[in-house]
Structure 1
């Protein structure tokens, strides 16, 4: 039922801010021009409409709307910033406030709704958050590179220098010459490997904001990786279950996707359990927001995340000392995922297995 407008409501009708009155059943009784513009309705069509139906039709997620509804039913003021899907590529933000109007007995007789478009402000906030995250990541990377220089590079350089000094005291025909020369070569090879790792990582970081994406069939990439590691899988008796919709395509850089799947699968093979045959599951599905949810699970040796969670994706961190490795694979996986605009999470249990969950845009 419509309500008559008093002087205050007549003023409110012309405010730039969206305002509305709701009944106790949360149906629109009155709305000003600002509210009607946001919901893209005229007043006759808005009157009597359920408020949350209007929100969902405007682009508010169903779960977000239900959460707001649950809070309003507590009969207390509610203030939230809520995302609104304008289309598949664009999201707006509304600052929404709902306040109950109580009668003389303390019972709710109406709700006052205030809504403002804060998209520009929110974009600035999100840009500031991204800048902060980028600065944090760069600082973290700088710390890791400093660690590389002070630890990983120092050892092979010191070894090569020390062995070279010993070589100058020997003649080629001396029995110890060839073994020392072999150790010098090993130190130089180790040094070269580390330098290549750093160059690769810096190259990825430098191009992180300029990655050119193309449509990539995820199933094809997974099959290529499986084929390349088929011999290793057969040798360990491993099996892989791939559940990817036929012709599933996502925007990405194929080389990065290949590296992600290759490193995850090669790690699963390398760190498999000695107590059971390796089983790997690869699944993907589209998210409601239009992205991709990618799950990679194995029943391998797993990790105690209570002890190592902070270091899982850190460069040159290794958690299985009895197995040869460089500690760069998961760092590359995370770097590639972030370069594609995604995120990665890990869930692992010692002697049970590990699951990596990737959210890709």
Structure 2
């Protein structure tokens, strides 16, 4: 919410808009003076606000100011104050006309972002100290966190260049979703540091549609930025009993790759579907991207640190991790592909154990 205000330096009168009264928690048309505003400035910020006032009158220039206010009911808000100064022919200030924007929610979202990044740093430092037993886990962590962090950075860029309050409010809704997923991922990975033996893995009933929806939310900025079209058909088998962390990682890696390695000549299209083949769940990811020359690269398609396109984000980790996760659960993965037409990655679950069609 943004309110308007005007202070006449000569007559010492103050005018506030209806929104400004709402921000300050006062009834509209309550008689106000400049001291009324100072009385609502947070005690810890009052000296800084008074100094700002002195510098404004001294330099005939109003610098943007962010500070806290404390309402009569004890509510604390954060506001951003901006203004223009009008002077007479002698250079004396006549009046100051400005805006006051309530940015409490924005600041709260920024704090969540900062906290999420701090959690990432802590997790990275923790992982760096692990022994050889956790080497593969460290690869999984850094790779699976890359997409939400990349999405977060893209949203931050849009926030910095947004011009209207409506745009910022829309972005904050996306911040909340991405941060929620990021926090969940961090908590899951931290718990996974207590590495379990394969037989001790906890399986749960998962809906493919829910996993895909979460994946699309995590990489929402990449999807919208490339006009990607992602469709699915899970009608043949909508659920599976599987390890949640692994299934989310499989979807994130394969969908992200389909969007990342798109053709420059067309918008990316990805279709995901499930089937039952010989009593086993078959999951396919089909795209219309760059494709891979399997005659040349097929033998190293799922190798660690193997890349097949000159893409700045290519790390050669995603397919390797996906294969390791699927095979550790008794499944298998393979691909068919044609250069400049696209690829199909096929996952066969329930190969020997663990997964159960539902």
**When the two structures are superposed, what TM-score results if normalisation uses the length of structure 1?**
0.43
Greater RCO between the two (CA within 8 Å, min separation 6)? 2
**When the two structures are superposed, what TM-score results if normalisation uses the length of structure 2?**
0.44
